[in-house]
Chains A and B, each alone.
Chain A
Amino acid sequence: MNSLPPQRQQSSQQLPSSPEASSSHQRRSSIPQSTTSEDSQTILLNHPSSSESSPKPEPQRKQQSRPRIRTADSNNEPRKCWICFADETEDTPTSSEWRSPCPCALTAHESCLLDWVADLENSQNRKSSGPPKIECPQCKAKITIARPRSLVVEGVRALQRATARFILPFTFVTLAGTVVTGCWMHGFSTIYLLFGPEDAERLLGIDNAVGINSKWALGLPLIPLALIAARTRYADNLLPILPIFYFASTGPQRDGPLWPPSASMTVAILPYIRAAYNEFYDRVCAPREKAWIKQIQPRAGDHGGDEEQEQPHEQQNEFEDGMDIGLDLQVEIVEEEEERENGQPAGNAREEEQGQVNQGQDRVQDQNQNQNQPVEGDQAHPPNRHQHVNQHQHQHQNQNGVQGLVLNNFFSLPQTIMGALIFPSISAAMGALLQVALPRSWTTPPGRWDRYPAGFLQSRFGRSVVGGCLFVVLKDTLMLYSRYRMAQDHKKRRVIDYDAKKGKKAGTTR
C-alpha cells in the first residue's frame, strides 16, 4: 500500500486531461486478482504487468476504478465482486456462484449480476426502446445471459411493446369510429324519420335480408355532416353543383312518371330551391329585417350604437339561413312547387310590408356603409344619403358579414350544429302534422279505384320535406313578424308621467 499514494496522485492528475488514458489501464483480459486484505478495496485491478493494455480509448469516461499496482502474489488474490464489493473470503455457503462474463477483470456473484441485469431490463422497459443492452460497464463486452427461452414470454413482451406503440393511433381510430358511428346512426334515424319505417327499409335495402345496401355505408354518416356543412355559407357555392352530378349520373334512363318526383330527383332539385329562397330572403326580407332592428335601437338615426347591435342580428340571420340550407341538403326531397307555394305567400306578405319600411331599408344601407367606414360614423349622416347604394353592394356586405361569422362566435357553433342535427326530426314532425291537418285524399295513396292522381304529399317523405320547408318559412315569418312588431311597438313607447296619487300607490305596492 505504500506505493499507492503516488500512483493515485498520478492517476487523478491524469483524469482531467485524459480520463481515457487512465481507464484504459484497466483493460485486462486476465482474471482479476486482489489482495486478501479486507481493505484492498479494488474491484478492478490493474496489474503492473498489464502491458497488453489496449490503447483503444475507453468509451466510459469515468474513473470508477483507479489503476492499482499489485506487485505481490496477485494470482492468489481472491476474487472480488464488482457489485457488492465482497470478496471470495467472505463467501458463505449461501453465496452464489462467481461469474466472469466478460474478457476484462470484472468478476461478480451471479446473484449480484442478475440483480443488476434485472434493474437494467426494468429501466429499459420504462423507456420502451427495444430489448436492453447488457454489457460490461468496464470493457463494454456483451454479457450473455442464458435463460430458458419461452416463446410465450417473448411473444407477450413483443405484444406489449407493440401495443404501447399503438395506443395513440388506436385512440384516434376509436374516436373517429365513434364519430362515424354516431353520424351513421343519425343518418339512419334521419332516413327513418323522413320516409317512415316501410319506405326507409325498402330504401336502405333492409327487407331483402342482404343487409343494408353497401352504398349507404358511406352515405349515411355523410347525412349529419352535410346537414351541418349546409349551415355555412360555403355551401352556397358548392350545393348548386351537386345536382349536375345527379343528372349526369342518372342520365336518360330515368323512367317512371315525372310526377310525383322521385326522392332522388327531389334531393337534386333542393339546392336550387334553397338558393332561390335564400336569394329571395336576402333581397326582400333581410333589408327590412335590418331596418326593423335598427329602429328599436336607441336613437335610430344615430350611428353610435349601431355596430354593437349589428352583431347579434347578423348571427340570427345566419342561423336562419342555415335552416334553409339544412333543409335542402338532407337526403330528402322537397317538391319544388310545393316549396314555392309555401314560400310565396310569406314572401307576398313581406312584400306588402315593403312599402311601409322603405325608409328603414335606406337606413340599413346607411348602416352597412358605416360598417365599412367606422370613422365616418361619427358624423351624423342624413338618413337618405345612401339611398343610391345599390342592392348588390348591400348583398355583398351582408354575405361577407355572415361568412366571417360562421364560426367566429363560440356559442353560435353548438347552436348551429344542434339546429342542423335536429332539423330532420322537426321536418318529420311537421310532416306528421301535415298528415293530420290536410284532407285525407291528399295524404293517402290512391287506391286502385280512387280517381285522384298520385301526389307528392301521399308519401311520408314528401310530407316530411314539405313540412321542413314549411317550418323554415314559418320560422322566418315568425321572426320577421316579431321584428316588425318590435319595431312598430318601439315607436309607440312612451314614458308615463308621474302621477302623484298613483305614484304613491305604486310605491306602496312595491
Chain B
Amino acid sequence: MFANKRLGKELAKIQESLPPGIDFVTAPDFQQWEMDIRVLDANPLYLDQTYRLRFRFSTNYPIEAPEVIFIPLSQPPRTIPIHPHIYSNGIICLDLLGTQGWSPVQNVESVCMSLQSMLTGNTKNERPPGDEEFVRRNTQRPRDIRFVYEDSSV
C-alpha cells in the first residue's frame, strides 16, 4: 500500500545511512518506529544526552503527518528533553508535525533533523507555559491538538 511502500523506501535509506546524531532504533512494522537523536554541539542543556523519538504512521502517511513524540525510557536511559516547545509528557509543539505545517516532502529523517536543530538552537531551560496543566489534562492524540504556533524563534 501507499504508506507501506514509502516507509519501506525510507527504512531502506535509513538503515543504509543517517546523518550524525540520528540513529535508527527499531521499526517492527510500518506503524511505529523509534529513533534516537542527540545534539551535536556542546549545548549544555542536552550535553551527552540521547533522546528517544517514537513515530506513529497512519495509513495515509505521507499525506498525513506522523505522530512524533519523545518517550522516556529507563534502559537505556532516555528522558524528555527540556525545551519551551516540548511538554513534559513528550508531546512536541512543532508546526511541521501539524496538519498545516506537514507536507509529504517531509520524512522520518527530516523530522529527526528538524527536532535535532530545534534542540540545538534552544537556550531556554524551560517547559512550555501551562505544561503541568496540559500534561494533566491532555488525553488527545498529539495530532488532534490545536497548537498555536506563535513563536517561530525557537
Interface residue? B66 (CB, 8 A): no
Q: Which of A1, A4, A11, A119 contacts B63 (CB 8 A)?
A: A119
- Nearest-neighbour CB distance to chain B for A435, whole angstroms, equals 68
B31 contacts which chain A residues (CB < 8 A)? none
B107 contacts which chain A residues (CB < 8 A)? 64, 85
Residue of A nearest to B63 (CB): A119
A223 contacts which chain B residues (CB < 8 A)? none
| B64 in contact with A43 (CB, 8 Å) | no
Interface residue? A348 (CB, 8 A): no
Interface residue? B60 (CB, 8 A): yes
* Bound-state Cα–Cα, A163 to B62, Å: 33
If A16-B41, A39-B13, A65-B105 touch, whether A123 touches B99 (CB-CB below 8 Å) is yes
Interface residue? A63 (CB, 8 A): yes
Interface residue? A94 (CB, 8 A): no
| A63 in contact with B117 (CB, 8 Å) | yes
Interface residue? A340 (CB, 8 A): no
Dominant secondary structure at the B interface: loop
- Nearest-neighbour CB distance to chain A for B31, whole angstroms, equals 18
* Bound-state Cα–Cα, A504 to B119, Å: 91
B114 contacts which chain A residues (CB < 8 A)? 62-63
| A138 in contact with B105 (CB, 8 Å) | yes
| B5 in contact with A12 (CB, 8 Å) | no
Interface residue? A84 (CB, 8 A): yes
| B121 in contact with A116 (CB, 8 Å) | no
Interface residue ranges of A111-126 to B (CB < 8 Å)? 112, 115-116, 119, 123
B40 contacts which chain A residues (CB < 8 A)? 12-13
Interface residue ranges of B63-95 to A (CB < 8 Å)? 63-64
If A38-B12, A41-B13, A65-B105 touch, whether A83 touches B62 (CB-CB below 8 Å) is yes
| A116 in contact with B63 (CB, 8 Å) | yes
Interface residue? A8 (CB, 8 A): yes
Interface residue? A86 (CB, 8 A): yes
| B16 in contact with A39 (CB, 8 Å) | yes
* Bound-state Cα–Cα, A38 to B16, Å: 11
Residue of A nearest to B121 (CB): A16
Interface residue? B9 (CB, 8 A): yes
Q: Which of A16, A38, A39 contacts B120 (CB 8 A)?
A: A16
| A137 in contact with B17 (CB, 8 Å) | no
If A41-B9, A83-B62, A84-B5 touch, whether A64 touches B17 (CB-CB below 8 Å) is no
Interface residue ranges of A342-376 to B (CB < 8 Å)? none
Interface residue ranges of A50-94 to B (CB < 8 Å)? 61-66, 82-86
A1 contacts which chain B residues (CB < 8 A)? 17
| A83 in contact with B20 (CB, 8 Å) | no
Q: How many A-B pairs with Cβ below 8 Å?
A: 95
Which of B12, B113, B116, B120 has most A Cβ within 10 Å? B113
Q: Which of A61, A86, A106 contacts B9 (CB 8 A)?
A: A86
Interface residue? B21 (CB, 8 A): yes
* Bound-state Cα–Cα, A9 to B19, Å: 7
Residue of B nearest to A82 (CB): B105
If A41-B9, A62-B96, A83-B62 touch, whether A15 touches B105 (CB-CB below 8 Å) is no
If A4-B17, A16-B41 touch, whether A85 touches B10 (CB-CB below 8 Å) is yes
| A65 in contact with B110 (CB, 8 Å) | yes
* Bound-state Cα–Cα, A41 to B9, Å: 7
Q: Which of B2, B64, B104, B110 contacts A62 (CB 8 A)?
A: B110
Q: Which of A8, A38, A82 contacts B104 (CB 8 A)?
A: A82
| A9 in contact with B20 (CB, 8 Å) | yes
Interface residue ranges of A10-67 to B (CB < 8 Å)? 11-13, 15-17, 19, 38-39, 41, 43-44, 61-66
| A15 in contact with B104 (CB, 8 Å) | no
Interface residue? B106 (CB, 8 A): yes
Residue of B nearest to A126 (CB): B99
A4 contacts which chain B residues (CB < 8 A)? 17
Interface residue? B32 (CB, 8 A): no
| A62 in contact with B19 (CB, 8 Å) | no
B13 contacts which chain A residues (CB < 8 A)? 39, 41
Interface residue? B124 (CB, 8 A): no
Q: Which of B64, B113, B121 contacts A63 (CB 8 A)?
A: B113
| B105 in contact with A106 (CB, 8 Å) | yes
Residue of A nearest to B146 (CB): A127
If A12-B113, A123-B99 touch, whether A64 touches B6 (CB-CB below 8 Å) is no
Interface code B42-64, partner A: CB below 8 Å = 1, 0 otherwise? 00000000000000000010111
A15 contacts which chain B residues (CB < 8 A)? 113, 116-117, 120
Residue of A nearest to B122 (CB): A16
* Bound-state Cα–Cα, A12 to B103, Å: 21
- Nearest-neighbour CB distance to chain B for A10, whole angstroms, equals 10
| A86 in contact with B113 (CB, 8 Å) | no
| A85 in contact with B106 (CB, 8 Å) | no
- Nearest-neighbour CB distance to chain B for A437, whole angstroms, equals 70
If A8-B19, A12-B40, A119-B60 touch, whether A83 touches B104 (CB-CB below 8 Å) is yes
| B62 in contact with A19 (CB, 8 Å) | no
11 additional contacts, CB 8 Å, given A62-B114, A63-B114, A66-B110? A8-B20, A12-B117, A15-B113, A16-B121, A38-B9, A39-B16, A41-B9, A62-B106, A83-B62, A86-B5, A138-B105
A–B Cβ pairs within 8 angstroms, 9 of them: A8-B19, A11-B19, A12-B19, A16-B120, A62-B110, A62-B113, A66-B19, A115-B63, A119-B64
The 7 tightest CB contacts between A and B, nearest first, are A41-B13, A137-B103, A16-B120, A64-B110, A15-B117, A85-B9, A83-B104
